[in-house]
């Protein structure tokens, strides 16, 4: 049973349009076309897929529909054809390490393979949020695609330090971190770091090879006011820093929290 208002609305539309059939032209439906792909359609789709020029079925169909010299096809034939070839997916990241850095990594591991890192303070100043939102096509029978991890999609600057027994507080950096800003962080957290190693004897400081870590005044400050021992760190080796394991666990939690916050803000608005 339909309510009176609905029935009256249908009658009114019928008088206006001259038919009881609904008008779907303004509802965003896929435009009609032939239901069978020709070889020319398949040729275009295969070329786009192999060159990673399309990232979804919808984009493939829209691009195919924009070609004027071939017959228009419906959405579902394009979708069904692509499903026979494979599917769209987010590629995994493939880290690339230069040959020179591979040698340095190996030397580092050989030198410190029997070393106890319990009294080493591992620090980090970049919290990377590598959200990979684009997709590429995965052909059936082939390995899942991967892309080089050259730069993070998004990052925030967070300085922190951890060692076997304790951790420092977090320090959020509003702008890009340079030597003078890094020195201010060390000065601000100096007492905190020293207190953590009180009565634990000689301890060592470790940070990576970022540009803001290299100036002489940074090294002088660490050796004079923190500890005389600075553990070297090979380039392109975040896996050799235990604090990266913490970031790896915090990444999905932070993305989830950010998504929930975004959804809640939309509901409130």
The torsion angles phi and psi of 164, rounded to 5 degrees, stand at -55, -40
pTM above 0.75, yes or no: no
Q: Which pLDDT score, from 0 to 100, does residue 186 have? A: 97
Residue 93: strand pairing partners: 147
Rounded-to-integer distance, Cα 122 and Cα 116, Å: 13
Residuewise pLDDT in 10s, the chain (269 residues): 567 777 777 777 777 776 656 655 545 554 567 788 999 999 999 999 998 889 899 999 999 999 988 999 999 999 999 999 998 887 776 667 889 999 999 999 999 999 999 999 999 866 555 455 567 777 888 887 776 654 444 566 789 999 999 999 999 887 788 999 999 999 999 999 999 999 899 999 999 988 999 999 999 999 999 999 999 899 888 888 888 887 777 766 765 565 454 445 444 44
Q: Which two tokens stand for residue 254?
A: 């932070």
Q: What is the CA radius of gyration of the chain?
A: 29
Contacts of 99 (CB under 8 A, 6+ apart): none
Residue ranges of domains in the chain: 33-86, 115-261
Rounded-to-integer distance, Cα 52 and Cα 137, Å: 7
Classified by CATH at the fold level, domain 115-261 comes out as Nucleotidyltransferase; domain 5 (3.30.420)
């Amino acid at each position: 049973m339909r309510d009176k208002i609905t029935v009256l609305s249908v009658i009114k539309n019928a008088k206006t349009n001259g038919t009881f059939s609904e008008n779907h032209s303004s509802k965003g439906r896929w435009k009609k076309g032939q239901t069978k792909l020709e070889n020319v359609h398949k040729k275009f789709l295969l070329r786009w897929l192999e060159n990673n020029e399309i990232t979804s079925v919808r984009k493939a169909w829209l691009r195919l529909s924009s070609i004027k010299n071939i017959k228009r096809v419906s959405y579902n034939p394009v979708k069904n054809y692509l499903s026979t070839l494979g599917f769209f997916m987010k590629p995994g990241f493939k880290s690339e390490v230069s040959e020179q850095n591979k040698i340095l990594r190996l030397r580092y591991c050989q030198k410190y393979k029997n070393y106890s890192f319990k009294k080493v303070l591992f620090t980090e100043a970049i919290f990377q949020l590598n959200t990979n939102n684009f997709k590429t096509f995965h052909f059936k029978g082939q390995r899942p695609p991967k892309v080089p991890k050259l730069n993070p999609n998004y990052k925030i600057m967070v300085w922190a330090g951890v060692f076997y027994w304790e951790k420092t507080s977090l320090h959020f950096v509003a702008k890009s971190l340079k030597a003078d800003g890094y020195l201010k962080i060390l000065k601000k957290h100096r007492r905190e770091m020293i207190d953590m190693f009180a009565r634990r004897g000689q301890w060592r400081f470790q940070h990576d090879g970022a540009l803001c870590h290299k100036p002489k005044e940074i090294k002088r400050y660490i050796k004079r006011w923190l500890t005389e021992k600075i553990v070297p760190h090979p380039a392109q080796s975040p896996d050799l820093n235990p604090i990266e394991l913490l970031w790896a666990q915090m990444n999905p939690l932070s993305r989830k929290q950010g998504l929930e916050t975004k959804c809640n803000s939309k509901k409130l608005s």
